[in-house]
Amino acid sequence: MIEPSYSISEYLKNNFGDTEKLPFDTVVKKYPKNFCLISPGEVEERINFLISGVVETKIVKTDGTERITEFFFPNQFFCSLSSLLTQNPTNIYMTCLTDCTIESISYKDFNKALEKSLIVNKLGRKIAEQSYLLRIKREKDMLTKTASERYVELMKNRPEVIQEISLSKIAKYLGIDPHSLSRIRANAFK
């Protein structure tokens, strides 16, 4: 079950109950499956809102192994936040796992509007807060939950994962090998 998708202006209305609009234009664009939105060495210049599709963020460790750090689903903001805030190069890959429709805000417009706009500051605060909480949750889950518990939670919160994302990617997200994931799935559905 994919949630009905909406736009940034609807997100603002739902979250802040404001009728105030963003003081700049956004851009809505379609991207094909496997399109790489940003890769290591590039500087993040956009704040993205996922209208439809699934996006992954991934790091490649120094030993060459890949780790999927997050999946993003419709109605979520996503970007390489530390690169955006510091304007230093990112160390992540961000890739469309399906065809995606993405609405984007230019950081230049956003940053300029921070001086005077209440709604832009509210949105910037919300994005930073949610990114912080997501990070803390992931760290805590990795330390305190088994791969099996994390799999069951992912399925519960995002049942659409199984339709949209390959098992090898789910295994990379859970930090286990695909065979272990097969065992976990067999047990979870007993």
Asked if 133 is part of the footprint of its own copies (rule: CB under 8 A), the reply reads: yes
Distance CA 71, CA 169 (A): 10
Count interface residues toward its own copies (CB under 8 A): 21
Asked if 43 is part of the footprint of its own copies (rule: CB under 8 A), the reply reads: no
Distance CA 12, CA 14 (A): 5
Asked if 48 is part of the footprint of its own copies (rule: CB under 8 A), the reply reads: no
What SS3 class is residue 58?
A: strand
**Shorter beta-carbon distance to its own copies: residue 116 or 179:** 116
* Helical ranges in 7-76 per DSSP H: 8-16
Asked if 28 is part of the footprint of its own copies (rule: CB under 8 A), the reply reads: no
- 189 and 165 in contact (C-beta within 8 Å)? no
Distance CA 30, CA 104 (A): 11
Asked if 89 is part of the footprint of its own copies (rule: CB under 8 A), the reply reads: no
- Chain residues that interact with its own copies, rule: CB under 8 A: 62, 81-82, 85-86, 114, 116, 118, 121-122, 124-125, 128-129, 131-133, 135-136, 139, 144
